[in-house]
Amino acid sequence: MNGNNILAISSIVIKELYRRKDFYVLFILTVLITVLAGSANFFNDPRIVGWLKELSLTLIWLSSLVIAINTAARQIPAERESRTIFPLLAKPVTRADVMAGKFLGCWLACGIALLVFYLFFGIVVSAKGGRLFTGDLVLAVWLHWMLLGMVIALSLWGSLLFTSVAANVTICFVIVVGLLFIGFHLGKVARQQPEPFQTIVMIVYNILPQFGFFDTRQMLIHGSHLKIVPVLLATLYAWAYTAFFLTGGWLAFRRRALN
């Protein structure tokens, strides 16, 4: 793989994100809903902020997943449809470079979007007089970004397996949301099953990526503190799955006919 090629491809992806309207629409919607909700009066107490944090974080998570999955899912199909993939690969650029460049571009673009969203979140919480520890916020944003790395890699792989972008987006969204909601609880479900289902579900539970490790919304809302060591371990966990999904995508891309 060539680092310069990867950086060149990724810079194009970043430019594409800020030229498209997705991010702006989702950000403005998040701002509007949060500001409107923030103006609500509950028992004449202006310092109530927990529910606003919850609403704002939910919107940020939803927006970031939509941006990540949508951006990643259409990268390679768009190149194929517009046939720009041929001149791209005619240059000294390997398929691995394309895959890595697309991933890096989407990941960095999502990171920039996350910074804007969380900056707004910080401003809203501070304006309402709520508690928000900077260290915890930084770690939470970092974990969120790590999760988006896995999601983008999964979505890129999916774009090479499914025939349409819409199918890939829908399936990725269902997988990600499903894992966020039930990932941690599969073990509890498995322990109540008879054999051999118990073993099968336990294997699935241990193999599936636990996206819940990266969802620290409740910690931010309730002012609990994140510890650095678990965050570092979760980062390694995320990188391992990201590498696995990217390898899977690269293998699929290598065998795939371009026309």
Partner 1 sequence: MVLLLVWCFGVGSRLWTEQIAGERISARPSVLKSLLGDSRRLFANHFFIKADEYFHAGYYPSIFDQAATDKKGAASAATTGAVTGDSHAGEVEWMNKPHDWIERFSRNFFPSDHVHLDTMDDDHGHDDHEHDHDHGHSHGHSHGHGHATDGHDGASGGSMVREILPWLRISAELDPNRVETYLTGSYWLRKRMNRTAEAKEFIRDGLRANPRSYELTFELARIYHEHHEDTGRARNLFNLALRYWNDSQRLAEEPDNFMLAQILVQLATLERIQGNPDRALELYQELRKVSPFPESIDRLISDTREGKPPTALR
* One residue of 15, 91, 222, 254 binding partner 1 per CB under 8 A: 222
Number of residues that bind partner 1 (CB under 8 A): 37
CB of 181 to partner 1, least distance (A): 9
In the complex with partner 1, which residue's Cβ is closer, 77 or 212?
A: 212
* One residue of 43, 92, 195, 207 binding partner 1 per CB under 8 A: 43
CB of 57 to partner 1, least distance (A): 12
Q: What does the alpha-carbon distance between residue 120 and residue 166 come to, in Å, rounded to a whole number?
A: 30
Q: What are phi and psi of 43, to 5 degrees?
A: 55, 35
Identify the CA nearest to 175 among candidates 188, 194, 162.
162
Q: Torsion-angle region of residue 132: left (phi > 0), alpha (psi -120 to 50) or beta?
A: beta
**180 part of the interface to partner 1, by CB under 8 A:** no
* One residue of 188, 197, 203, 256 binding partner 1 per CB under 8 A: 188
With both helix axes pointing from N to C terminus, report the angle between 95-127 and 228-255 in degrees, rounded to the nearest 10.
140
Taking CA atoms, 156 is separated from 76, 160, 244, 252, in Å, by 8, 7, 12, 10
In the complex with partner 1, which residue's Cβ is closer, 107 or 213?
A: 213
Which residues make up the interface to partner 1 (CB under 8 A)?
A: 40, 42-45, 47-51, 131, 143, 184-185, 187-189, 191, 205-206, 210, 212-216, 218-219, 221-224, 226-227, 230, 233-234
